[in-house]
């Protein structure tokens, strides 16, 4: 794991998207536009160590996707299709015509679904341990489809070691400052309802629902945008075999597997990730 620089969070900004109060960060005022998409039940804090580096050459946005972080949590489906439509509305609200999407986990699935629906709005893609490429996903994710399990969830600091073990290869080496910034977002009261809706919209006990991932897999050959696929070799959430499904299906891709890395390469190896992405975008 790389050393993490000491950074300051960008100021929180808010915009109404489809009458949903949506929190976002924005940095950079030149170059092409990038939108950063975090994973399910995540938040923009996941991009803390990347946004400034990317913003030196690009105009970068990161937002709390609907139902996540400090954005509002309406009683809606949190399917990839609905989240892709929300992304479309976010771009419209901020007058963003086209963008490169960088998506991790569920955010990667949203990026793929959005590209399938709105190919003319996408410049390039960066898929980071992306959902949407097959059925396999961790048992913990499959269990959040069960109301009895979700209703028992009581976020607390006792959960942090298990979260670090499942999501990261060397989670204990993450900066304490990041954990202190992320924990209050993770522990916002009343999130169980959203977690259950998110789970049931996309998963069942067997894994990712076929109606969620199959349209994406069937459309990979039609996605002609240059795509950078980044995956942690030891991802315990979504298996690395999905990286090779993407590389086999996408006609214009570059694949990079990070050794000794889990589900969030951009957090475990931020400098390496940022350098790779900037080189890819400069081509």
Fold of 13-282: Rossmann fold (3.40.50)
Neighbouring CB atoms inside 10 A of 39's CB total: 26
For 8-32, the pLDDT digits (tens) are 899 999 999 999 999 999 999 999 9
CB 250 within 8 A of CB 239: no
Q: Residue holding tokens 């479309």?
A: 88
Q: Which of 273, 269, 251, 271 is nearest to 260 (CA)?
A: 269
Which range is least confidently modeled, 1-5, 7-11, 148-152, 227-231?
1-5
Which regions of 107-214 does DSSP assign to beta strands (E)? Answer: 122-128, 203-204, 207-208
For 178-218, the pLDDT digits (tens) are 888 888 887 777 778 888 898 999 999 999 999 999 999 99
Task: Provide CB contacts within 8 A for 154, sequence distance 6+.
Answer: none
Instruction: Examine the pLDDT at 1 and tell me if it is beyond 70.
Output: no
What pLDDT is attached to residue 2?
Answer: 67
User: What's the whole-number average pLDDT of the chain?
Assistant: 92
CB 68 within 8 A of CB 43: yes
pLDDT above 90 as % of the chain:
74
d(CA 243, CA 233): 10
Q: Name which residue leads in pLDDT, 113 or 194.
A: 113
> What DSSP character marks residue 234?
T
Structural domain boundaries in the chain: 13-282
d(CA 78, CA 83): 6
What pLDDT is attached to residue 190?
Answer: 72
d(CA 163, CA 10): 25
Phi, psi (degrees; rounded to nearest 5) at 20: -110, 120
Kindly state the average pLDDT of the residues 55-81. 91
CB 131 within 8 A of CB 103: no
């Amino acid at each position: 794991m790389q050393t993490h620089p000491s950074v300051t969070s960008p100021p929180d900004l808010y915009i109404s998207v489809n009458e949903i109060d949506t929190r976002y960060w924005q940095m950079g005022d030149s170059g092409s536009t990038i939108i950063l998409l975090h994973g399910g039940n995540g938040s923009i804090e996941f991009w803390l160590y990347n946004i400034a580096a990317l913003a030196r050459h690009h105009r970068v946005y990161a937002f709390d996707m609907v139902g996540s972080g400090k954005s509002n949590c309406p009683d809606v489906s949190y399917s990839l299709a609905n989240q892709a439509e929300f992304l479309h509305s976010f771009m419209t609200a901020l007058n963003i015509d086209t963008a490169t999407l960088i998506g991790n986990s569920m955010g990667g699935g949203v990026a793929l679904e959005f590209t399938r629906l709105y190919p003319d709005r996408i410049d390039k893609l960066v898929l980071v341990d992306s959902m949407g490429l097959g059925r396999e996903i961790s048992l913990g994710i499959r269990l959040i489809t069960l109301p009895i399990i979700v209703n028992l969830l009581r976020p607390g600091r006792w959960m942090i070691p298990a979260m670090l073990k499942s999501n990261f290869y060397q989670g204990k080496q993450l900066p304490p400052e990041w954990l202190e910034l992320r924990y209050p977002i993770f522990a916002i009261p009343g999130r169980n309802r959203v977690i259950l809706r998110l789970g049931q919209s996309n998963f069942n006990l067997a894994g990712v629902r076929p109606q969620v991932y199959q349209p994406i897999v069937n459309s990979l050959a039609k996605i002609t945008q240059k795509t950078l696929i980044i995956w942690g070799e030891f991802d315990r959430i979504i298996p690395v075999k999905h990286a090779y499904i993407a590389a086999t299906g996408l006609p214009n891709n570059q694949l990079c597997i990070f050794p000794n890395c889990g589900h969030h390469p951009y957090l475990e190896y931020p400098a390496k990730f940022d350098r790779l992405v900037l080189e890819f975008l400069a081509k």
